[in-house]
């Protein structure tokens, strides 16, 4: 016992009161009580302890925690009085003679009670699984802590119709927060945000049916449990395995203060809790996180960020959950005084006043202006019906800004204030003039620069994101640590750079041109006067050996339509990649800026197809790109396309391609093939599909970027484009030419080769077939486009014959 006391003393002293006068109990019987110094344990070497835990200042809560502290902090699993901490002095947790458990503080006020009663002898016992149980000598179970969880479920603790998990208020404040996990009336396990003003369910996603979310109210029971092997099962058929599935590690399922439901497993080696499952990897999809009238932005480097909408100001300077409030006066009776501000790539989930299908943008604006409570509108193209729908909003809540949202939102502001709002889309603004002019401006840190950089990253400079290749590369790691042997070294001048050299080339890393999960990209001029893009990978991403193994694979990919890597640097903790600089930015910007004539477009389509065909078939290993989109097609000074950013790619053995399962959806909404959605085998045809969408965008000029200066150019979801194109060109051969003319980007002013255009349309539509087997391979695409090329002269003469359908 002495040894035990010593052990407890040394491990608990940090946040428990002075323990030298404490007692250790293994159970409580009627009439006895615990004071602030006392601890209840289950066994001589207990996993859990129960007692009073300091929650700040002189405030204590009666709690259960993991006995072993991590970094001096205790991990709590349960609290009796999380919302009403007690004073440190004269506080007691007692088992009354009536059989009731009672927590009283100094003023003899009853803080918490178990509301139990029994005439027979009663014991409070603590079990090794963390359950605190009050039972009679006859074995009747009167009360147990497992029936009243706070924010944590332990293995084998049943979650039932009567239990809810409530998140903590913040990382340091244990009192009840805004997020709840509960069984809904229909038997589905849901997560709900219950904020000061607004309540909304955010898991499973409410826009998909519960059946599509893989849930169903199978039978009358509402029950869920995480077992000790890390398998979670619920009566609504939700189930998952933790990433470290198997018996052994201690685990806990926690509804975290940020609204994410996570399983943590204790990693004994590092002495820390590791997340081994979480319900969402997109923190901005969790509702209420930034309050009303604000935007949530997910920065790969910093994590989640909140910002007020233009014209709004933060309500409570220290707490985002209160959101933002208007910093303007809206005069409702005078419609002419309010206007709309367009915000790109923003979605506000829910709180629609109404829904108006197939109406014009003008009419949609009028609907909003006529209703005083209307705060803004979402005007969105419907894929299913092929027209625009209008959603006036009475609350701007769950605002999320992401390039994955093609649609803009229009917020209502007084006209006097509209003019004073400075560049609401600054971060997302694409300036056509100086898209990329090397080294013309120096990097200066502003509050929101990270945002701009984030966008630049996606927009301007593609990069080889190499982390994802690790799985494959670890297998092929056969290169020595000392350097790497690239057989293209001589041909391409591939070499190792010193850190000092790159620092100088990039002027002390002063001009940032991109930023992504893997690191920051800077512009630079090498000693031989070549413009280069220099990517600094995040520190500690990987060891030198892995890094070099990856480089040696990347440098073997060599094709004129793939971005070229010139070298690398691995010095100390620095990991840098050097690759060619693309003067003309990417296809998305060029389309948006109307820089592309017909010839350029055709060449980009062909070059991109060649690059992808090389990746799929010609190079040493199979490479799926998995994220083909205009932003990842860079253009050189001659507008030759170079495919970039293999961030989501995976190198696969040629033979294994058909049988390989991808565990997670990759790619960008709108460009993703149906296989991702329907969980079918992923093959090179997913890239063919995305390629088809890109080509359709080039033909029609429908970029994913709306011109915010012009209300009429509402952006269209890429997949909607397929439907639209098919609708518009279907019909008899007679008049086909004029129908095709009807879909072509008006900014080409009709200046294009009709027969090639026909082929391009044909090829693109084949590429976007729902059935992957009906799609051509990239090699076949190249052939179809090239075949046309070789007959160029023939075609020019023939095309003068007039409208004639061309068969492939
Ligand atoms: C703990 O209590 C003992 C006696 O009750 C006292 O002598 C000692 O100074 C206290 N230690 C601290 C750190 O308060
Ligand atoms: C305990 O947790 C707090 C808050 O999360 C943290 O700041 C601190 O570094 C941790 N460790 C110690 C020894 O307090
Ligand atoms: C407990 O004892 C009291 C008085 O002796 C009696 O009135 C009460 O009914 C008993 N309750 C139970 C549950 O036996
Ligand atoms: C914790 O949050 C609650 C609810 O917002 C608040 O009343 C309380 O003062 C907070 N406690 C601390 C220590 O900040
Ligand atoms: C409902 O399903 C659960 C788990 O699938 C099962 O354990 C339970 O017995 C079922 N209940 C009824 C009433 O069928
Ligand atoms: C909106 O305009 C009014 C009147 O000019 C002004 O008082 C207010 O500060 C403005 N609000 C913002 C956010 O600019
Ligand atoms: C802001 O929120 C904090 C924490 O919830 C609270 O303590 C504080 O009083 C609030 N401030 C204002 C001005 O409402
Ligand atoms: C949408 O509205 C337009 C103009 O009112 C009309 O011509 C068209 O038929 C409508 N589309 C559908 C699918 O109802
Ligand atoms: C880079 O920084 C060093 C000092 O860290 C300074 O001496 C040098 O002038 C800087 N170079 C440029 C181009 O700013
Ligand atoms: C792919 O995964 C699914 C479900 O996880 C599985 O049923 C199927 O057998 C897997 N296919 C291959 C080829 O491994």
**Would the CB of 71 count as within 6 Å of ligand 2?**
yes
Q: Which ligand has the nearest atom to the CA of 22?
A: 1
**pLDDT: which is higher, 215 or 17:** 215
Cα-to-chain-centroid distance, residue 222:
30
Helix or strand run (H / E) with residue 792:
helix 792-799
- Look at residue 194 in the predicted model and tell me its pLDDT: 92
Residues tagged active-site: 627
Residue 406 has pLDDT above 90, yes or no: no
CB 137 within 8 A of CB 120: yes
Cα-to-chain-centroid distance, residue 30:
53
For residue 386, which atom of ligand 8 is closest to its CA?
13
For residue 219, which atom of ligand 5 is closest to its CA?
1
- Residue 690 CA, ligand 4 centroid: distance in Å: 49
What is the mean pLDDT of the segment spanning 447-454?
A: 34
Q: Which residue has the tokens 């750079």?
A: 497
Compute the mean pLDDT over every residue in the chain, rounded to the nearest whole number.
76
Q: Which ligand has the nearest atom to the CA of 442?
A: 9
Portion of the chain with pLDDT greater than 90, in percent:
27
Residue 715 has pLDDT above 70, yes or no: no
- Residue 68 CA, ligand 2 centroid: distance in Å: 15
**Would the CB of 14 count as within 6 Å of ligand 1?**
no
Paired tokens of 516: 């992504």
Residue 35 has pLDDT above 60, yes or no: yes
- Residue 299 CA, ligand 10 centroid: distance in Å: 33
**Would the CB of 358 count as within 6 Å of ligand 8?**
yes
Partner residues linked to 381 by β-bridges: 388
For residue 313, which atom of ligand 6 is closest to its CA?
13
CB 62 within 8 A of CB 93: yes
What is the mean pLDDT of the segment spanning 391-412?
A: 83
For residue 417, which atom of ligand 6 is closest to its CA?
1
State how far the Cα of 221 lies from the Cα of 189, in Å rounded to an integer: 12
Q: What are phi and psi of 243, to 5 degrees?
A: -65, -20
State how far the Cα of 290 lies from the Cα of 162, in Å rounded to an integer: 30
**Least confident span in 366-370, 398-402, 649-653:** 649-653
Q: What is the pLDDT of residues 527-537, one digit of tens each?
A: 776 778 888 87
Paired tokens of 27: 């159970």
State how far the Cα of 47 lies from the Cα of 529, in Å rounded to an integer: 64
**Would the CB of 663 count as within 6 Å of ligand 10?**
no
**Least confident span in 263-272, 461-470, 488-497:** 461-470
What is the mean pLDDT of the segment spanning 282-296?
A: 87
pLDDT band per the 50, 70, 90 thresholds, residue 349: confident
Taking only Cα atoms into account, the Rg of the chain, rounded to an integer number of angstroms, comes to: 31
For ligand 1, mutation pick of 18, 19, 37, 38 (most atoms within 8 Å of CB): 18
**pTM for this predicted structure:** 0.56
What residues does ligand 7 touch, defined as CB less than 6 Å away? 316, 318-319
* Torsion angle defined by CA atoms of residues 423, 428, 429 and 434, in that order, rounded to the nearest 10 degrees: 130
CB 114 within 8 A of CB 124: no
**Least confident span in 12-21, 301-310, 619-628:** 12-21
Alpha helices in 701-777 (DSSP H): 718-729, 736-743, 754-767
- Residue 750 CA, ligand 1 centroid: distance in Å: 90
The residue whose CA is least distant from atom 3 of ligand 6 is 328
State how far the Cα of 674 lies from the Cα of 686, in Å rounded to an integer: 8
- Residue 71 CA, ligand 2 centroid: distance in Å: 7
Delineate the domains of the chain, giving CATH numbers in brackets.
1-148 (2.90.10.10), 150-281 (2.90.10.10), 294-428 (no CATH), 489-580 (3.30.200.20), 587-807 (1.10.510.10)
Residue 465 has pLDDT above 50, yes or no: no
- Look at residue 363 in the predicted model and tell me its pLDDT: 92
Q: What is the pLDDT of residues 519-560, one digit of tens each?
A: 677 888 887 767 788 888 765 455 676 677 666 666 666 677
The residue whose CA is least distant from atom 2 of ligand 8 is 358
pLDDT band per the 50, 70, 90 thresholds, residue 299: low
- Look at residue 149 in the predicted model and tell me its pLDDT: 97
Decide: helix, strand or coil at residue 106.
coil
452-457 contacts: CB < 8 A, separation 24 or more? 452/426, 452/427, 453/512, 453/514, 453/515, 453/520, 454/299, 454/300, 454/427, 454/515, 454/516, 455/403, 455/427, 455/428, 456/512, 456/513, 456/514, 456/515, 457/514, 457/515, 457/516, 457/521
Q: What is the pLDDT of residues 217-229, one digit of tens each?
A: 767 789 999 999 9
Query: In Å, how far are 74, 81, 168, 176, 625 from 172, measured between CA atoms?
Result: 12, 15, 8, 12, 42
State how far the Cα of 768 lies from the Cα of 776, in Å rounded to an integer: 10
**Would the CB of 797 count as within 6 Å of ligand 2?**
no
Tell me: is residue 804 an annotated ligand-binding position: no
- Residue 649 CA, ligand 7 centroid: distance in Å: 46
What is the mean pLDDT of the segment spanning 591-606?
A: 86
- Residue 290 CA, ligand 7 centroid: distance in Å: 15
Residue 439 has pLDDT above 90, yes or no: no
- Look at residue 542 in the predicted model and tell me its pLDDT: 58
State how far the Cα of 624 lies from the Cα of 780, in Å rounded to an integer: 17
- Look at residue 164 in the predicted model and tell me its pLDDT: 95
The residue whose CA is least distant from atom 8 of ligand 10 is 661
What is the mean pLDDT of the segment spanning 22-33?
A: 87
The packing angle between helices 718-729 and 736-743, to 10°, is: 160
For ligand 9, mutation pick of 508, 509, 511 (most atoms within 8 Å of CB): 508
The residue whose CA is least distant from atom 14 of ligand 4 is 173
- Look at residue 76 in the predicted model and tell me its pLDDT: 95
- Look at residue 533 in the predicted model and tell me its pLDDT: 85
For residue 658, which atom of ligand 10 is closest to its CA?
13
State how far the Cα of 593 lies from the Cα of 608, in Å rounded to an integer: 20
Highest mean pLDDT among 101-110, 479-488, 626-635: 101-110
Q: How many helices (H) and strands (E) does the chain have?
A: 17, 47
What is the mean pLDDT of the segment spanning 101-114?
A: 88
pLDDT band per the 50, 70, 90 thresholds, residue 686: confident
Write the CB contacts of 397 (distance below 8 Å, at least 6 apart in sequence).
Answer: 198, 200, 287, 288, 291, 292, 293, 323, 348, 349, 350, 351
- Look at residue 627 in the predicted model and tell me its pLDDT: 74
CB 64 within 8 A of CB 129: no
CB 663 within 8 A of CB 648: no
């Amino acid at each position: 016992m002495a040894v035990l006391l010593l052990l407890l003393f040394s491990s608990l002293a940090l946040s428990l009161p002075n323990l030298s006068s404490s007692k250790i109990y293994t159970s409580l019987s009627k009439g006895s009580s615990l004071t602030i110094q006392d601890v209840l344990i289950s066994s001589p070497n207990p996993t859990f302890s129960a007692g009073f835990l300091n929650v700040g200042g002189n405030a204590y809560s009666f709690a259960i925690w993991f006995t072993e502290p991590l970094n001096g902090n205790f991990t709590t699993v349960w609290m009796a009085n999380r919302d009403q901490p007690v004073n440190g002095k004269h506080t007691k947790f007692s088992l009354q003679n009536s059989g009731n458990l009672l927590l009283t503080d100094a003023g003899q006020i009853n803080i918490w009670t178990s509301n139990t009663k029994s005439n027979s002898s009663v014991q409070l016992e603590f079990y090794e699984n963390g359950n605190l149980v009050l039972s009679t000598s006859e074995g009747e179970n009167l009360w147990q802590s497992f029936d009243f969880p706070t924010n944590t479920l332990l293995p084998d603790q049943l979650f039932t119709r009567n239990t809810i998990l409530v998140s903590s208020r913040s990382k340091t404040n244990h009192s009840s927060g805004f997020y709840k996990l509960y069984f809904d009336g229909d038997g589905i396990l849901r997560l709900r945000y219950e904020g000061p003003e607004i309540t909304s369910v955010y898991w499973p996603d409410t826009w998909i049916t519960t059946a599509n979310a893989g849930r169903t109210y199978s039978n009358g029971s509402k029950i869920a449990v995480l077992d000790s092997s890390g398998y979670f099962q619920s009566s609504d058929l939700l189930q998952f395995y933790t990433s470290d599935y198997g018996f052994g590690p201690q685990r806990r399922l926690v509804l975290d203060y940020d609204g994410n439901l996570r399983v943590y497993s204790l990693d004994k080696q590092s002495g820390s809790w590791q997340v081994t499952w979480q319900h969402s990897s997109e923190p901005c999809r969790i509702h209420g996180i930034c309050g009303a009238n604000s935007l949530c932005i997910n920065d790969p480097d910093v994590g989640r960020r909140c910002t007020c909408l233009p014209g709004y100001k933060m309500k409570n300077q220290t707490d985002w959950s209160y959101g933002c409030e208007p910093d303007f006066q809206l005069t409702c009776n005078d419609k002419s005084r309010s206007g709309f501000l367009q915000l790109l790539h923003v979605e506000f989930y829910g709180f629609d006043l109404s829904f108006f299908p197939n109406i014009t943008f003008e009419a949609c604006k009028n609907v909003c202006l006529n209703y005083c409570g209307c705060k803004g509108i979402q005007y969105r193209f419907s894929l299913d019906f092929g027209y625009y729908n209008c959603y006036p909003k009475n609350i701007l809540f769950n605002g999320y800004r992401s390039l994955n949202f093609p649609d803009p939102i229009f917020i209502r502001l007084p006209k006097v204030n509209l003019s004073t709002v400075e560049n609401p889309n600054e971060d997302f603004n694409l300036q056509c003039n100086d898209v990329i002019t090397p080294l013309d401006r120096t990097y200066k840190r502003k509050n929101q620069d990270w945002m701009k950089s984030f966008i630049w990253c996606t927009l301007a400079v593609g990069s080889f994101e190499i982390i994802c290749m690790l799985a494959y590369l670890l297998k092929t790691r056969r290169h020595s640590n000392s350097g790497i042997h690239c057989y293209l070294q001589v041909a391409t001048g591939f070499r190792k750079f010193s850190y000092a050299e790159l620092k100088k080339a990039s002027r002390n890393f002063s001009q940032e041109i991109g930023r992504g999960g893997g690191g920051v990209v800077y512009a630079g001029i090498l000693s031989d006067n070549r413009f280069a893009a220099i990517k600094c990978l995040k520190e500690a991403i990987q060891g030198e050996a892995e890094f070099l193994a990856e480089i040696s694979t990347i440098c073997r990919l060599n094709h004129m339509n793939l971005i070229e890597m010139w070298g690398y640097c691995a010095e100390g903790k620095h990991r840098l990649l050097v690759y060619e600089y693309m003067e003309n930015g990417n296809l998305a910007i060029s389309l948006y800026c109307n820089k592309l004539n017909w010839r350029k477009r055709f060449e980009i389509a062909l070059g991109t197809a060649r690059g992808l065909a090389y990746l799929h078939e010609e190079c040493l290993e199979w490479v799926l790109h998995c994220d083909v989109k205009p932003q990842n097609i860079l253009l050189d000074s001659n507008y030759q396309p170079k495919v970039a950013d293999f961030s989501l790619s995976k190198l696969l053995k040629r033979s294994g391609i058909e049988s390989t399962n991808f565990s997670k959806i990759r790619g960008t909404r709108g460009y993703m093939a149906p296989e991702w959605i329907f969980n079918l085998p992923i093959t090179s045809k997913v890239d063919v599909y995305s390629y088809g969408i890109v080509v359709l965008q080039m033909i029609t000029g429908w970029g994913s970027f709306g011109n915010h200066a012009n209300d009429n150019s509402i952006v269209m979801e890429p997949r909607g484009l397929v439907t639209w194109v098919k609708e518009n060109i279907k019909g008899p051969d007679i008049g086909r030419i004029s129908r095709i003319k009807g879909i072509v980007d008006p900014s080409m002013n009709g200046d294009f080769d009709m027969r090639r255009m026909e082929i391009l349309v044909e090829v693109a539509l084949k590429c976007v077939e729902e059935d992957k087997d009906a799609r051509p391979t990239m090699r076949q695409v190249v052939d179809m486009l090239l075949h046309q090329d070789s007959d160029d002269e023939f075609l020019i003469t023939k095309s003068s014959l007039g409208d004639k359908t061309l068969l492939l």
